[in-house]
Structure 1
């Protein structure tokens, strides 16, 4: 069995699908060779990231960084909320107003000879897409040079894949499509080439080759979609990996390549508890699970059943998402969790706020454990998964918030901070998701 490794990289809100990027000259940052079906993963804010500013502390204060993360999350939540109302699958671009905030990166080799690219891991998107040579508005240091690949092909309008993208157009014989990305407009050619994760080459892999980006939001480093749509990585590698993968996301404090993405059913953990994976035909790519309750300390908080209920018609329910940083709960659920959290910390402790976080403390506290109760599975979150701490001073905040206040705010999102140091196993053929505690930091 082969094992692949993903590399997490950090660069505060910059994006670059960087060819031949290398981490800092720190022995702890040297990446082990990818092998087999496990890929090393590291956080985008990791000190080992080649995109990290020379002096991150000078770039922005902790408070400013948190507010920027919240703004990114807010935009992503609005995007995810808009998806659930759709009646058809949109495998590329995944709808309108698409704003991603990828925080975990994998290393991929594209083309022949291979060009090393850094791509965001995203469980709520389907297609892969990268900035390509000649792209107007893309970072010049992050372009895939298709002319240097002997296996690159531009797919025509008559190709089966062209029917799977939203609103395709024909420029000559090439299949082209447009999508929005925040305040930007992106034009891409549907293409194919050999993509290699670790040592397993996937020939004829279909992806979007971005040719133009206009507006204020240039796209991030490339993206590899791990959703369930027809152009997703799972669908295109079904014969190789059997639509099965797991990951362990390291903390952003991790100095080395400690997280991993494990592809295929072989070598997955045997002792792991599962919860059923739910199907939403309106948004079949998202990983819905049945969240039935939340405990704060030893108390199951009183949450209205409708706040957690799965409803394919409205799109409500709970999803597992790798691209959102902080868990968002619909307002009735969040309010119940927050109030019990505050009560257990102590009524005499002063509560402050920071942006969208409304439960912050300027003095040290002992936070209670929060347990997410899924059907057949409980996941207890210790302090490291639920509290963010300032780098200077003693301020700490509950790293959860209410979902954005818009009409489509019906989705609870279990985000990547709450997933850190857990093995999350996506077993699509058996319609289940497994979770087990694992130190990957």
Structure 2
């Protein structure tokens, strides 16, 4: 079975392997950032996607061919998803970028704290089913949504795509405790394909936290920060365009709380057996590819499943397994570059220890890339040295390196590059590392320090780049196409 969800963003990318460059657009050591265009993209001023329909796709209805679903940034469906999550002194509006930026950074801090706890310290809530847990998380979660069909006939639902978790779930009726979502809550009583999993099923045995109620398997997913979902594990049909994927194990959540406001649930794309990718592994080889839409762009992009998702000509980097955190995708980052020069940082800063601590995770749910403080400061200081001609301003939110670009048409900025084990170098377009944070022309370097040894490559740095995961062979690929 092969599937495709498509997202397109027009940005440039260069990938270099050793002395041979596989390039789409070759960057010099410095780039020109189009300030008005970047500010407009950051504001999310393009039309939203609140009325997006399921794509017809190219499938023939039995799961063959291509599966296409639009992937949209959460700001696209503002205010439908974000209005319930964003409150900025009661002055939030669709046209103002600043409130959404601050809300996004609050979500991001909570997301990173969650990853740190679950990976570095193994702090996961152990709740009894039906117990009341108050997370206090009032911000939305997940930066990217896809619209899929759940059940038979299919009910269209927005779900968060998350490469850092495994369970696929949606909120379900009857809802003991549910947060706000933009679509009607799924009612399994109206689905002909819904089937509750029994407690003795081998599918139930795959769950880490299980319970049993009236013979049905109960699931629980806790996200480390107190947000959670609880309910019944079921087999259900998911629809991607005209392609039907039957008997997918999903959570039917009756008690849900936390960082998911707007979306109906979550499409887990992690490396575990209960993720959507893991469940399709026997048919697709655990292969998938995605492109994430840039902020404010009117274009769409792709999430594609199957061996056909593996592009020819990509620069491939080995995935690194971590037995302590098998759901996460670790890569071998060995260095950083600014302006064509490698920053003097020891490779050990990015290396995963024998006990599974540290390392570098690629995550769709984290917006801003984090580096350990030592690496971040060396990287930041090098960037500041090469942008001495630009007017600096005070830091904003989690960013400490910001510039006043009000009135500029374009500015010259140094390139930013990631050096990977084996030789590939990924050089980012300027809009992936210098981003607008308000409506006044303030731009900030979109990186932040990490208090632990863990590094996270976030979705801002991934935007517009075709990224492919070959789980069966243990590789992640970059390019060769921009989205």
Q: Give the C-alpha shift of residue 31 in structure 1.
A: 7.0
Which among 371, 378, 382 is matched to residue 429 of structure 2? 382
SS in 2 for 1:72: helix
Compare 79-88 and 419-428 and name the one that shifted more: 79-88
Question: Is the alpha carbon distance of 1:133 and 1:317 closer, same or farther for their aligned partners in structure 2, counting shifts above 3 Å?
Answer: same
Aligned to 1:368: 414
Alignment of 1:273-292 (within 5 A): 273-292=315-334
Question: Is the alpha carbon distance of 1:6 and 1:249 closer, same or farther for their aligned partners in structure 2, counting shifts above 3 Å?
Answer: same
Does the 8 Å contact 1:4/1:40 carry over to 2? Answer: no
**Do residues 310 (structure 1) and 352 (structure 2) align?**
yes
**Do residues 126 (structure 1) and 161 (structure 2) align?**
no
RMSD of equivalent CA atoms: 3.3
What is the CA–CA distance in structure 2 between the aligned matches of 1:203 and 1:252, rounded to whole Å?
Answer: 33
**Do residues 46 (structure 1) and 90 (structure 2) align?**
no
Q: Give the C-alpha shift of residue 242 in structure 1.
A: 1.7
SS in 2 for 1:142: coil
Does the 8 Å contact 1:88/1:282 carry over to 2? Answer: no
Q: Give the C-alpha shift of residue 282 in structure 1.
A: 0.8
SS in 1 for 2:361: strand
Compare 292-301 and 161-170 and name the one that shifted more: 161-170
Compare 101-110 and 285-294 and name the one that shifted more: 101-110
SS in 1 for 2:172: strand
Alignment of 1:173-184 (within 5 A): 173-180=215-222, 182-184=225-227
* Per-residue CA distance 1:370-405 (angstroms, 9 max, x = gap): 0001113111012111011145222110011112x3
What is the CA–CA distance in structure 1 between the aligned matches of 2:237 and 2:53, rounded to whole Å?
Answer: 26
Does the 8 Å contact 1:89/1:283 carry over to 2? Answer: no
Structure number with higher relative contact order (C-alpha < 8 Å, ≥ 6 residues apart):
2
Aligned to 2:116: 81
What is the CA–CA distance in structure 2 between the aligned matches of 1:98 and 1:286, rounded to whole Å?
Answer: 25
Aligned to 2:237: 194
**Do residues 394 (structure 1) and 449 (structure 2) align?**
no
What is the CA–CA distance in structure 2 between the aligned matches of 1:312 and 1:198, rounded to whole Å?
Answer: 44
Does the 8 Å contact 1:43/1:103 carry over to 2? Answer: yes
Does the 8 Å contact 1:187/1:210 carry over to 2? Answer: yes
What is the CA–CA distance in structure 1 between the aligned matches of 2:242 and 2:124, rounded to whole Å?
Answer: 31
Q: Give the C-alpha shift of residue 421 in structure 1.
A: 1.0
Q: Give the C-alpha shift of residue 50 in structure 1.
A: 5.7
Query: Normalising by the residue count of structure 2, what TM-score does the alignment of the two structures yield?
Result: 0.78
Q: Give the C-alpha shift of residue 309 in structure 1.
A: 1.0
Question: Is the alpha carbon distance of 1:98 and 1:178 closer, same or farther for their aligned partners in structure 2, counting shifts above 3 Å?
Answer: farther
Q: Give the C-alpha shift of residue 3 in structure 1.
A: 5.2
What is the CA–CA distance in structure 2 between the aligned matches of 1:119 and 1:217, rounded to whole Å?
Answer: 9
Which among 242, 246, 256 is matched to residue 213 of structure 1? 256
What is the CA–CA distance in structure 2 between the aligned matches of 1:224 and 1:215, rounded to whole Å?
Answer: 16
What is the CA–CA distance in structure 2 between the aligned matches of 1:297 and 1:30, rounded to whole Å?
Answer: 43
Q: Give the C-alpha shift of residue 33 in structure 1.
A: 2.8
Does the 8 Å contact 1:47/1:255 carry over to 2? Answer: no
Does the 8 Å contact 1:6/1:105 carry over to 2? Answer: no
Aligned to 2:32: none
Q: Give the C-alpha shift of residue 42 in structure 1.
A: 2.0
Q: Give the C-alpha shift of residue 229 in structure 1.
A: 0.6
What is the CA–CA distance in structure 2 between the aligned matches of 1:234 and 1:401, rounded to whole Å?
Answer: 30
Q: Give the C-alpha shift of residue 89 in structure 1.
A: 12
Query: Normalising by the residue count of structure 1, what TM-score does the alignment of the two structures yield?
Result: 0.85
What is the CA–CA distance in structure 2 between the aligned matches of 1:125 and 1:259, rounded to whole Å?
Answer: 21
Aligned to 1:12: none
What is the CA–CA distance in structure 1 between the aligned matches of 2:258 and 2:466, rounded to whole Å?
Answer: 38
Q: Give the C-alpha shift of residue 287 in structure 1.
A: 0.5
* Per-residue CA distance 1:189-234 (angstroms, 9 max, x = gap): 1111112223332221111111123589868431111111111112
**Do residues 353 (structure 1) and 395 (structure 2) align?**
yes
What is the CA–CA distance in structure 2 between the aligned matches of 1:358 and 1:237, rounded to whole Å?
Answer: 42
Alignment of 1:42-121 (within 5 A): 42-46=72-76, 51=81, 58=93, 61-85=96-120, 101-121=141-161
Q: Give the C-alpha shift of residue 188 in structure 1.
A: 1.3
Does the 8 Å contact 1:47/1:254 carry over to 2? Answer: no
Give the unaligned 5+ runs of structure 2.
9-47, 59-65, 126-133
Aligned to 1:33: 56
Alignment of 1:401-440 (within 5 A): 401-403=448-450, 405=451, 409-436=452-479, 438-440=481-483
Does the 8 Å contact 1:70/1:356 carry over to 2? Answer: yes
Question: Is the alpha carbon distance of 1:351 and 1:392 closer, same or farther for their aligned partners in structure 2, counting shifts above 3 Å?
Answer: closer
Aligned to 1:5: 5
Does the 8 Å contact 1:327/1:413 carry over to 2? Answer: yes
